[in-house]
């Protein structure tokens, strides 16, 4: 990804330009610099303490996504992001400094964020929680009626047979 294009690319991904996106880009830059690019065994994990703008900036920049299970949202309403490197558990927690905005309008604030270095914007702290466990892939079992694989926790047992929910409803209609 060309450095100059980064912001435009992320804006295209996100759908609009906003201070939140700028904050996430800067947090991601610092995390990538400290922990590496994050692929394969070097996978990064992010715990975000805000759900601002869907954390699209983090998802785009670091490849930590909700779908992959390596982006965890904790809606604490804090502008804080903890990044871990899976392979050795090294982690940093980035907390946006207070009073950066100083009455700036939204666009001026966004521009100020984008031209600041990450170190000017974030306090770098120790993680306050352990490295999250890997996303758990649940075993699939075969429904004894339709024969289709189904997540085990969503099956029902009846007379020694395992059923998916649609089949279970077929053989035991609800009142």
Binding site residues, Zn ion, CB under 5 A: 18, 20, 53, 143, 145-146, 164, 167
Rg (CA), the chain: 21
User: In whole angstroms, how close is the CB of 57 to Zn ion at the nearest point?
Assistant: 8
Helix (H, G, I), strand (E, B), or coil: what is residue 69?
coil
User: In whole angstroms, how close is the CB of 163 to Zn ion at the nearest point?
Assistant: 6
Nearer to Zn ion (CB atom), residue 27 or residue 92: 27
- Contact assessment for residue 24 and residue 118, using Cβ atoms and an 8 Å cutoff: no
User: In whole angstroms, how close is the CB of 161 to Zn ion at the nearest point?
Assistant: 10
User: In whole angstroms, how close is the CB of 146 to Zn ion at the nearest point?
Assistant: 3
User: In whole angstroms, how close is the CB of 140 to Zn ion at the nearest point?
Assistant: 12
Nearer to Zn ion (CB atom), residue 35 or residue 143: 143
- Contact assessment for residue 62 and residue 35, using Cβ atoms and an 8 Å cutoff: no
Nearer to Zn ion (CB atom), residue 19 or residue 91: 19
Q: Residue 89: exposed, middle, or buried by beta-carbon count in 10 A (0-12, 13-18, 19+)? A: exposed
Nearer to Zn ion (CB atom), residue 84 or residue 168: 168
Q: In sequence order, which ranges of the chain are alpha helices (DSSP H)?
A: 6-14, 19-35, 56-62, 106-115, 118-121, 165-171
Nearer to Zn ion (CB atom), residue 56 or residue 80: 56
**Cβ neighbour number for residue 145 with a 10 Å cutoff:** 15
């Amino acid at each position: 990804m060309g450095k100059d294009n980064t912001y435009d690319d992320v804006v295209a991904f996100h759908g609009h330009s906003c201070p939140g996106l700028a904050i996430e880009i800067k947090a991601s830059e610092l995390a990538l610099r400290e922990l590496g690019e994050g692929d394969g065994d070097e996978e990064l994990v992010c715990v975000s303490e805000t759900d601002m703008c869907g954390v699209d900036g983090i998802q785009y920049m670091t490849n930590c996504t909700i779908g992959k299970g390596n982006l965890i949202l904790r809606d604490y309403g804090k502008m804080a992001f903890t990044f871990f490197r899976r392979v050795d558990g090294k982690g940093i927690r980035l907390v946006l400094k207070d009073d950066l905005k100083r009455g700036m309008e939204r666009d001026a604030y966004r521009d100020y964020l984008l031209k600041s270095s990450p170190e000017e914007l974030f306090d770098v702290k120790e993680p306050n929680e352990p490295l999250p466990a890997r996303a758990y892939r649940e075993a699939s079992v075969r429904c004894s009626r339709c024969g289709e694989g189904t997540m085990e926790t969503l099956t029902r047992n009846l007379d020694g047979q395992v059923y998916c929910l649609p089949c279970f409803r077929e053989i035991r209609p609800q009142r």
